[in-house]
Amino acid sequence: MGVGVSNWRLAKVVSRLGEIGVVSGTAIDAVVARRLQLGDADGSIRRALSHFPWPKMAKRFLDNFFIPGGKAPHEPFKLMTLLSLGMKRARVEQMIVANFVEVFLAKEGHRGIVGINYLEKIQLPTLPSLFGAMLAGVDIVLMGAGIPLAIPGTLDRLAHWDPVELNIQVEDNTADQAFVYRLDPREYSSGVRPELSRPKFLAIVASDVIAKTMIRRATGRVDGFVVEGHTAGGHNAPPRRVGQASGAATTGYSDRDIPDIAKIKKLGRPFWLAGGFASPGRLKEALALGANGIQVGTVFAFCDESGIVPAMKEAVLKECINGTLTVTTDFQASPTGYPFKIVSLKNNRTSQSEPGRRERICDLGYLRELYCKDESKVGYRCPSEPVKDYVAKGGREDFTVGKQCLCNGLMATIGLGQSRGDETELPLITAGDDFSFVKHLVKSENTHYSASEAIEYLKPNHS
Ligand SMILES: Cc1cc2nc3c(=O)[nH]c(=O)nc-3n(C[C@H](O)[C@H](O)[C@H](O)COP(=O)(O)O)c2cc1C
């Protein structure tokens, strides 16, 4: 769960309890860099960096971002260079190091399984991120928000230290040019070259058709699937009958959007069901359907160990108990064009999701799309940047309607929101539709619960 919600602390607890703990790899470079600017109070990041195979690279990261004692509250976080096809080595290093740090910490001190989650839609960080996570020995890579055909083969190659490349999607590409991002891992290994093992690859899919496509056309082995329905938190697959149209206002799911589990089972790979499965009954149901288990998000997003700011977790759980919490599938908010679940609170009106609350600023840029400027040049634009800038770059004005800045909003939700003068970026909270676990886990006098209690609720016989 991104960004930073499923952090190393949460993944580590889950993994130690014998489940698969998954960290979010989305924007993890900015997350780790900002945690360092808050002073790395428990020293965890510095400890992880001391295990990074190339100390000089780790030191460059530390020197760039660490502020002993933390930055002053109103001082803005240092911005990283926005990602681009031609990004410099220093920027690539930051992604390698940060992914290493998050996975290292999640895996530290136990033998449990740790995965990392990325979004296919966010392409530029993918290769350095995979490499960094593999340096820390990540066990599983999970990827959705698109059809990640190239990733399984990429993992095979990286495990042999071979150069890798990824075709990058570029809009307005009338001449049909190929745009490729390349990474040669050997260029980053000064002297020491640790052995890398190939993590398992799980594709996150919303239909049997996509699952089948993955098996047939992926560049390497797909080891299994997370089958995610549209009630899940975060981004959802668009409704089938409409298809994905960036920025287009679409509404409503139908029965056609419910994945056909029998067909998935026939593919013969392990699979986990996700989206509204956080109850012992639904877990049993999933197992009866042939699933290896379930992937749950919302129940973990609001537990003690997650990265969401504690006061926000408490507000969400309280409003859930009081019946004032609403979760909507917003078909416009995300610059990716995918539907995105947004939590609204009645009595805590602080969210970015209120219209007109936020001046448009794009300074993290993870969701920028690439577009052809002219014959050979590539430009970058995001439908949630200032409208006039987006339109000046050839973007369609109607694509900007209702767009939220997920990058800044999600960073604020985990306490890493940018300071802008006297103001701080407002949070954006995502969650799935199903909060039925709350009445079982939250006792009236105590509005919080641990990841271990959540697992105990889901698996009563868990020891
Ligand atoms: C706060 C939050 C953030 C999420 N972020 C991501 C993400 O970055 N990538 C992803 O593949 N899934 C993401 N998800 C989806 C979860 O991984 C999981 O599949 C889903 O939440 C399961 O449904 P549930 O919320 O009903 O348990 C997110 C879910 C939540 C609640």
Q: Find how far residue 132's CA is from the centre of its chain.
A: 16
Q: What percent of the chain stands above pLDDT 70?
A: 95
Pocket test for ligand 1, best of 126, 147, 298 (most atoms within 8 A of CB): 298
What integer pLDDT is reported at residue 190 of this predicted model?
Answer: 80
pLDDT digits (tens, 9 = 90+) for 201-259: 999 999 999 999 999 999 999 999 999 999 999 999 889 765 444 444 456 888 888 88
Q: Cα(402)–Cα(29) distance, rounded to whole angstroms?
A: 27
Interval 170-193 mean pLDDT = 92
What integer pLDDT is reported at residue 353 of this predicted model?
Answer: 61
What integer pLDDT is reported at residue 249 of this predicted model?
Answer: 42
Interval 335-340 mean pLDDT = 94
Q: What percent of the chain stands above pLDDT 90?
A: 86
pLDDT digits (tens, 9 = 90+) for 350-409: 566 666 678 899 999 999 999 999 877 999 999 999 999 999 999 999 999 999 999 999
Interval 428-438 mean pLDDT = 96
How many helices (DSSP H) and strands (DSSP E) are in the chain?
A: 16, 16
What integer pLDDT is reported at residue 247 of this predicted model?
Answer: 44
Interval 62-72 mean pLDDT = 98
Pocket of ligand 1 (CB under 6 A): 1-2, 5, 24, 26, 117, 119, 144, 204, 228, 231-234, 274-276, 278, 295-298, 301, 430-432, 434
Q: Which residues contact 203 (CB under 8 A, 6 or more apart)?
A: 142, 143, 144, 147, 148, 210, 211, 214, 218, 222, 224, 225, 226
N-terminal to C-terminal alpha carbon distance within the chain: 25
State yes or no: pLDDT of 307 exceeds 50.
yes
pLDDT digits (tens, 9 = 90+) for 246-302: 444 456 888 888 889 999 999 999 999 999 999 999 999 999 999 999 999 999 999
What integer pLDDT is reported at residue 463 of this predicted model?
Answer: 60
Q: CATH assignment of 8-307+442-458?
A: 3.20.20
pLDDT band at 444 (very low <50, low <70, confident <90, very high): confident
User: Nearest Cα to 128, choosing from 162, 90, 92?
Assistant: 92
Q: Give 294 Cα–ligand 1 centroid separation in angstroms.
A: 12
Helix, strand, or coil (residue 156): helix
Interval 64-74 mean pLDDT = 96
Q: Per the omega criterion (within 30 degrees of 0), is the bond before 13 cis?
A: no
Give the atom of ligand 1 at the shortest distance from the alpha carbon of 118.
Answer: 9
What integer pLDDT is reported at residue 248 of this predicted model?
Answer: 42
What integer pLDDT is reported at residue 438 of this predicted model?
Answer: 97
Helix, strand, or coil (residue 214): helix
Q: Cα(291)–Cα(282) distance, rounded to whole angstroms?
A: 11
Q: Which residues contact 440 (CB under 8 A, 6 or more apart)?
A: 457
State yes or no: pLDDT of 10 exceeds 60.
yes
What integer pLDDT is reported at residue 461 of this predicted model?
Answer: 76
What integer pLDDT is reported at residue 354 of this predicted model?
Answer: 66
